[in-house]
Structure 1
Amino acid sequence: MLRRMLLGAALAGVAAFGVFWWLTAPPLVLAVTERAHTPDLANGQTTFNAGGCSSCHAVPGQPDRLKLGGGLAIPSPFGTFYAPNISSDPVDGIGRWSEAEFVNAVTKGVSPAGYHYFPAFPYASYQHAKVEDVRDLFAYLKTLAPVSGKVRDHDVPFPFDIRRNIGIWKWLFVDGKPFVPDATRSGRWNRGAYLVNSLGHCAECHSPRNFLGGIIAAQRFAGGPNPEGEGWVPNITQKGLGEWSVKDIAWFLETGQTPDGDNTGGPMARVIRNTSQLPAEDRAAIAEYLKSLPPVDGPPRPKTAAKGGDKS
């Protein structure tokens, strides 16, 4: 009897390990299967600005937002991540990557070496981007100057440093679904919905998260604690932007100025450096979509989080 029990426990353990290994395995299928693509560099630049690439990947402390040598520290409850070099440098950047490897990284969160990227890289939103946009982005990045210099390793303690476990996180929070336009809405609204929910990854900062670091779906866009650990990220549903007009939101995305004449600061100031470069019609589309979001109550805000601590 004891032998059977031990054998059963061993088989259950093997089965459990097999399920874990299957769930945590990075996808093997490359994201790009289409025929040769003629890049649209203008669209690549728009994708670059909509995706906020320079907000994280520009070298800190220098004025050139196209110097993509990385190095920005990104604090989180799970450790501190450091944005990598995504310049065209063949040694320290992505200069030797193939187009398929780049699309796989952006939309699936998988490195060319076949391991999971930490979700500080917002592929949970980027997964909804159109493959042709990501291909154009790759072509645009290759036109920018290479920047040498390897970024330091992430400072992530055990057990969060086990990349294989990220497969479980993806299983829980990455659905793999493409963006689907709403046929009952206007083309401009759909463009805004696409930019906000994919490339713009607005929900990544403007939504509260659970203890696993996943967005709480019922409070999407409802603001909450700054994921970088300081201040409070504002609610961008109509609960927070109810007094803003579509023009107010579009103006904010262009200038960083609020309707009451205040100027944004913190991480959002880096975002504005990108959205200000978008075509005016894209800022208007984002504004129209955000204005359509129904009011949602966010998590209770601590009384000590004064308005000056907003990361808007």
Structure 2
Amino acid sequence: MGARVRKLVSAVVVLGVVAGGAAWWLTRPDPWPAAHWDGLGAPDVANGEQLFWAGGCTSCHAAAKSEGDAKLVLSGGLPLKSPFGTFHVPNISPDETAGIGGWTLADFGNAMTRGVGKQGEHLYPSFPYGSYARLTSKDINDLWGFLKTLPKSANVAPPHDLPFPFNIRLSLGGWKLLFFTDKPRVTVDTSDPKIARGQYLVEGPGHCGECHTPRNALGGFEAAEWLAGAPNPEGEGRIPDITPGSKTIGSWSESDIANYLETGFTPEFDSAGGSMVEVQQNMAKLPASDREAIAAYLKAVPAK
């Protein structure tokens, strides 16, 4: 091999290493600095419970068809089918082995708001950290405090069942680079405290866009279609448009929406159905002011 060829090969290798290093740097797991979770003090467990219901934690993490106090046993295991394979919801009870009882506040907060697991790995966005990223540090602390009061479960959830290449977690760094953000999803009048609160609840803990917004082929939100309806992730029918242009709720008033979230009944005397039943039951546990704030935000988002 001539000197010129050796130099060319060496240059290509160096460029490859540099490019690989740059790609890793841009897509590496990115948890908060440890100091981010300092000084939060004792959690407000009552506020944590409200966030728990706003986030619908039982809908995914409790055993199927749980009722009453059994809903508070967050044993995991529920299969979530998707175009990328089947995800299995983890145990998030305070069990030290099967659950997250051995986690710290920082571990929990980084999972919730940065999509980074306890071992520093990328988490799959089947866990809606893309929405939870908007939660304040105080609310994370309060929610963590409440979760630690719940019953333990020793159930070990199965691993995800994902085909290649979706089983390669490193690829999630590229997904985050393209789609992960903690910025507002739409522009609304946040000078109105009620609308601002509604935006926080809907775009953050409520994670309403996870079902009501369509996604592209890579699983990222189609940003221009925020809350405009999407295929049902469970495979049957569609999740409705809930913007002011909706044929479903476009004609409803703020009080109609707030009443629906409290009672499950529409202005037409119909009732919530499908997966919305559990969502409505969770929302009914929130303060009336929060349901009113959600309604105000839904009337303020751009119509589709």
- Give the TM-score, by structure 2 length: 0.92
Whether the 8 Å CA contact 1:179–1:194 is kept in 2: the answer is no
- Write out per-residue CA displacement over residues 126-151 of structure 1, whole angstroms, 9 at most, x where no aligned residue: 10111100110000011111111100
Partners of 1:184 and 1:201 in 2: CA distance: 18
Q: Please give the residue correspondences for 1:1-312 in structure 2 after superposition, counting only pairs within 5 Å.
A: 1-30=4-33, 32-63=36-67, 64-177=70-183, 185-240=191-246, 241-296=249-304
**Which has the larger displacement, 149-158 or 63-72?**
63-72
Consecutive unaligned residues in structure 1, runs of 5 or more: 297-312
Matched residue of 1:238: which SS? coil
Consecutive unaligned residues in structure 2, runs of 5 or more: none
- Write out per-residue CA displacement over residues 276-312 of structure 1, whole angstroms, 9 at most, x where no aligned residue: 111111111101110112211xxxxxxxxxxxxxxxx
Cα offset for 1:180? 12
Report the CA distance shift for 1:157/1:36 in structure 2 as closer, same or farther (over 3 A). Answer: same
Cα offset for 1:269? 1.6
Partners of 2:173 and 2:58 in 1: CA distance: 27
Whether the 8 Å CA contact 1:39–1:135 is kept in 2: the answer is yes
Report the CA distance shift for 1:72/1:273 in structure 2 as closer, same or farther (over 3 A). Answer: farther
Report the CA distance shift for 1:76/1:9 in structure 2 as closer, same or farther (over 3 A). Answer: same
**Which has the larger displacement, 77-86 or 10-19?**
10-19
Whether the 8 Å CA contact 2:91–2:157 is kept in 1: the answer is yes
Partners of 1:101 and 1:139 in 2: CA distance: 13
Whether the 8 Å CA contact 1:191–1:285 is kept in 2: the answer is yes
Partners of 1:144 and 1:157 in 2: CA distance: 34
Identity %: 49
Partners of 2:238 and 2:229 in 1: CA distance: 7
- Write out per-residue CA displacement over residues 75-123 of structure 1, whole angstroms, 9 at most, x where no aligned residue: 1111111111111111111111111111111001111111011000111
- Give the TM-score, by structure 1 length: 0.89
Whether the 8 Å CA contact 1:30–1:104 is kept in 2: the answer is no
Cα offset for 1:60? 1.3
- Tell me how many residue pairs correspond in the alignment: 296
